[in-house]
Amino acid sequence: MWLPDIDIFTLWRWLLAVVVTLYATIVMVQTAWSYYVWLSAEDRYTAILRRYVAVQSLRVRVRAFAGDLAVCAGLLLILTLLGWLHWLGVNGHL
């Protein structure tokens, strides 16, 4: 019986990456669009709320989240490094 030469682990990995990335992108765009539509209404109270949201956004202190953001940056760096090593392995340089 002929079976295609497919690595199950690679297939699962690629499927996971594609599905999760698409899902996260769609949900994020949907949420951002609903917020945009809601906050761009012309009535007085929405205008007040829009300004309040803008003020609250400007008052965010990034320094309070600096530790978590640094960890995220480090993890992204490690992920990039692993991806590069993986690329080397696939091309026979590892």
Binding positions for other proteins, rule: CB under 8 A: 7, 9, 13, 56, 59-61, 64-65, 68-69, 71-72, 75-76, 78-79, 82-83, 85-86, 89-90, 92, 94
User: From the CB of 39, what's the least distance to other proteins, in Å?
Assistant: 15
Q: How is residue 28 written in tokens?
A: 């994020």
User: From the CB of 41, what's the least distance to other proteins, in Å?
Assistant: 20
User: From the CB of 79, what's the least distance to other proteins, in Å?
Assistant: 5
41 or 76: whose CB is closer to other proteins?
76
- In 3-state terms, what secondary structure has residue 3? coil
